[in-house]
């Protein structure tokens, strides 16, 4: 069985370049099929979820290849509108193909999304919003079948600012007749990146990054070359790693403007931070200060994707901390693993109470999902002794080369 072997307990020293954003790349790849032509993407991360998505696009009839670090997608011969079950069930992001397939082909079949075990993640918000634009959807045992011959612009108000539902509405509304007004839209930076990408192809979208997005339908799009922004969650992961392991780390190509909530928490934890343009220098003595209470929130609040890494970091904090999870109901799955390392954590519903301990000890750990796996890597790097983290493939879903990154920070890590 494949695993990472990590020698922990030593302060960090080194620098890391932050990869392209996973959560921006996946909807952008979905959006690329709206255009009957060629898209060139730079800084697209070579992670498992992206590779799965590219296999889906190939099944649709797209031609896909890499030219050094540039990804070239030719969607001119797209001829299928059904996501193969073997890929759809592997990744949650397959659901965002619903809006782009309907926009391009007028019909779609997508198997029910899979990929993570962090909660139910219902898609009813997606379906209701697409129906508002004129889609007819039928829930079948194997997946969703949808038809929308001509989407019509309208006012759509989401009951919750769902990132995926916002993306699906934008993707379908690009070719809608008239203007679509999307209210209570998600404000995550990845939404803005998707809209900027679509605008670079000729779409007419205003208000990205606000709660109200206006999409004026167009008839066609054109070729584009686009550079994907850095990954704020990867940057946040390494920020929290530095906070608990200690040492000095330089992060390069960091989307600093997207990390206000994380930087505020790191300041409270006692981490020194120096920002120079898109670089972030961190200094920490390890064993961070406690945090009275942190609640996960939609952007610009503290991201749920960094809740598990923060949980690992606070396991060694000086005193008692509380984390309240408000987005996903099953995001405390790593608690059992951390307890095996000596962490003192109790869970009460959607609240984790962490009493910091002086040290964690080595253990054999098992990743069960992406961000939890990264959190176990953090714990292993901060613990005394050599730990193993099994099921590395979960971590590789979102981290392009976490092994190289850890080594660049001075951590001794091997892939076995």
Residue in this structure with the two tokens 């060694």, named with its chain if needed = 316
Sheet holding 70-74, edge to edge: 63-67, 70-74, 38-42, 224-227
What is the C-alpha to C-alpha distance for residues 29 and 125, in angstroms, rounded to an integer? 22
CB 5 within 8 A of CB 413: yes
CA distance 38 to 33: 9
Torsion sign across C-alpha atoms 380, 384, 386, 390: negative
Question: Rounded CA gap, 283 and 412, in Å?
Answer: 20
Q: What is the 3-state secondary structure (H, E, C) of 21-77?
A: CHHHHHHHHHHHCCCCCEEEEECCCCCHHHHHHHHHHHHHCCEEEEECCEEEEECCC
E-strand spans in 186-295? 204-206, 212-216, 224-227, 247-252, 272-276, 279-284, 294-295
Contact by Cβ (8 Å): 268, 240: no
Question: Could you say which of 116, 148, 195, 295 is catalytic?
Answer: 116
355 CB-contact burial (10 Å; exposed 0-12 / middle 13-18 / buried 19+): middle
Output phi, psi for 315, to 5 deg.
Answer: -60, -25
Q: Does residue 195 carry a catalytic annotation?
A: no
3-state class (DSSP) for residue 177: strand
Phi-psi region of 253 (alpha: psi -120 to 50; beta: other; left: phi over 0): left
**CB–CB of 19/404 below 8 Å?**
no
Going across the sheet that includes 12-17, the strands are: 12-17, 247-252, 279-284, 272-276
In angstroms and rounded to an integer, the radius of gyration of the C-alpha atoms of the chain is: 21
What are residue 6's DSSP bridge partners? 387, 413
Tokens (6 digits) for 91: 């990744």
Q: Which residues are marked as active site?
A: 116
């Amino acid at each position: 069985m494949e695993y990472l072997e990590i020698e922990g307990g030593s302060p960090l020293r080194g620098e890391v370049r932050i990869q392209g954003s996973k959560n921006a790349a996946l909807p952008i790849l979905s959006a690329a099929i709206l255009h009957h032509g060629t898209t060139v993407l730079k800084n697209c991360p070579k992670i498992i979820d992206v590779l799965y998505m590219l296999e889906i696009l190939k099944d649709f009839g797209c031609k896909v290849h890499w030219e050094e670090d540039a990804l070239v997608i030719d969607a001119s011969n797209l001829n299928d509108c059904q996501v193969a079950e073997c890929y759809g069930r592997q990744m949650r992001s397959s659901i965002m193909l619903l809006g782009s397939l309907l926009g391009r082909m007028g019909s779609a079949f997508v198997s029910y999304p899979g990929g993570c075990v962090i909660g139910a993640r219902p898609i009813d918000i997606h379906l209701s919003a697409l129906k508002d634009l004129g889609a007819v959807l039928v829930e079948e045992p194997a997946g969703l079948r949808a038809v929308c011959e001509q989407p019509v612009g309208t006012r759509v108000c989401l009951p919750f600012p769902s990132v995926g539902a916002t993306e699906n509405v934008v993707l379908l509304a690009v070719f809608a007749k008239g203007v679509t007004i999307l209210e209570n839209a998600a404000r995550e930076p990845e939404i803005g990146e998707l809209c900027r990408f679509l605008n670079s192809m000729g779409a007419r979208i205003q208000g990205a990054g606000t709660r109200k997005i206006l999409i004026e339908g167009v008839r066609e799009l054109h070729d584009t070359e686009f550079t994907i922004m850095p990954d704020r969650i990867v940057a946040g992961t390494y920020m929290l790693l530095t906070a608990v392991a200690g040492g000095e780390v330089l992060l390069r190509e960091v989307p600093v403007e997207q990390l206000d909530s994380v930087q505020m928490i790191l300041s409270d934890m006692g981490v020194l931070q120096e920002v120079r343009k898109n670089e972030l220098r961190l200094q920490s003595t390890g064993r961070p200060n406690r945090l009275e209470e942190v609640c996960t929130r939609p952007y610009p609040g503290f991201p749920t994707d960094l809740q598990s890494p923060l949980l690992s970091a606070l396991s060694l904090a000086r005193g008692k901390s509380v984390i309240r999870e408000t987005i996903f109901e099953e995001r405390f799955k790593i608690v059992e693993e951390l307890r095996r390392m000596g962490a003192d954590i109790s869970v009460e519903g959607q609240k984790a109470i962490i009493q910091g301990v002086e040290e964690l000890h080595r253990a054999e750990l098992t990743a069960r999902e992406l961000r939890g796996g990264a959190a176990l890597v953090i714990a292993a790097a901060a613990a005394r002794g050599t730990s193993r983290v099994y099921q590395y493939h979960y971590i590789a879903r979102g981290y392009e080369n976490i092994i190289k990154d850890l080594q660049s920070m001075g951590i001794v890590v091997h892939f076995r």
